[in-house]
Amino acid sequence: MDLGIKGKKALVCAASKGLGRGCAEALAEAGVNLVINARGDEALQATAAYIRATYGVEVTAVAADITTEDGRARVLAAAGDVDILVTNAGGPPPGLWSDWSRDDFIKALDGNMLTPIALMQALLPGMIARKWGRVVNITSGSVKAPIPQLGLSNAARTGLTGFVAGTARQVAEHGVTINNLLPGIHDTDRATSLDGGVAKAQGIDIPQARKQRQATIPARRYGTAEEFGAACAFLCSEKAGFIVGQNLLLDGGAVNATI
């Protein structure tokens, strides 16, 4: 399918690995030029070089912490006007509801709620002026079904979801869509690290923990970054212009709900 976005420019945050990289690669495959970001420069440059060589698009790589004001300023300065924004950052650590301090909450809110909001505030005006834009926020299945040990993530991402629900409906008349992608368990470093947490808590090894977590998914496997990226590219496509303010769960059926 021709997604109709060849030659457009996208900013994909936190994209040297995992789901962000999956989104960047799928957009590059559709002919979109990229600005990609992550904190570690080495992996970021390697990903940028791979995408340039594989898909023949322009890739600008900016090493910065996207959750800081300074990091965002540097990324936004390098990006300039973009047609497509994919927000992403690392997720907060797991823990127990009673342990988190105000500082822990502020950090989680900064990373997974206020950062995507700041990026939208910076880039939506240009999209609105040009009468075309796409925003996809990588959130989590935890906004639909809470993951008890990820209370910081449940809280911050649900706040973002509320902001998007209203804002998407304010910008849609300008040809700009905002939607959220909700990953269930995907086979990335983040999933491996959470496997490690389960293994430690239950005194089992990591392959056992993974087997146990896979058994909770009707598809009986983890998702892939490639599958995730394909969904992102479709939401960013010309064809998806009537999809507004939605939360698309990619979880192999793990959330047991009719709607």
- Contact residues toward ligand NAP (CB under 6 A) are 14-20, 37-40, 43, 65-67, 88-91, 138, 140-141, 183, 185-186, 188-191
Q: At what angle do helices 18-29 and 41-55 cross, to 10 degrees?
A: 20
The answer for residues whose C-beta is within 8 angstroms of residue 136's C-beta and 6 or more apart is 23, 84, 85, 86, 87, 178, 179, 180, 181, 232, 235, 236
Least distance between ligand NAP and beta carbon 183 (Å): 4
Least distance between ligand NAP and beta carbon 245 (Å): 20
Cα(158)–Cα(141) distance, integer angstroms: 10
Least distance between ligand NAP and beta carbon 157 (Å): 8
Between 91 and 133, name the residue whose CB sits nearer to ligand NAP.
91
Least distance between ligand NAP and beta carbon 257 (Å): 17
Between 29 and 238, name the residue whose CB sits nearer to ligand NAP.
29
Between 57 and 185, name the residue whose CB sits nearer to ligand NAP.
185
| Chain mean position to CA 178 | 13
Contact 57/80 with Cβ under 8 angstroms?
no
**Coil, helix or strand for 116?**
helix
Least distance between ligand NAP and beta carbon 217 (Å): 11
Contact 88/19 with Cβ under 8 angstroms?
yes
Least distance between ligand NAP and beta carbon 14 (Å): 3
Cα(84)–Cα(33) distance, integer angstroms: 10
Between 3 and 38, name the residue whose CB sits nearer to ligand NAP.
38
The answer for residues whose C-beta is within 8 angstroms of residue 222's C-beta and 6 or more apart is 185, 186, 187, 191, 210, 213, 214, 252
Between 91 and 245, name the residue whose CB sits nearer to ligand NAP.
91
Least distance between ligand NAP and beta carbon 143 (Å): 10
Which DSSP string do the residues of 179-243 spell out, in sequence order?
A: EEEEE-SBSSHHHHHHHHHHHHHHT--HHHHHHHHHTTSTTSS-B-HHHHHHHHHHHTSGGGTT-
Between 17 and 210, name the residue whose CB sits nearer to ligand NAP.
17
Between 40 and 253, name the residue whose CB sits nearer to ligand NAP.
40
108 closest CA partner among 162, 63, 157:
157
Contact 15/38 with Cβ under 8 angstroms?
yes
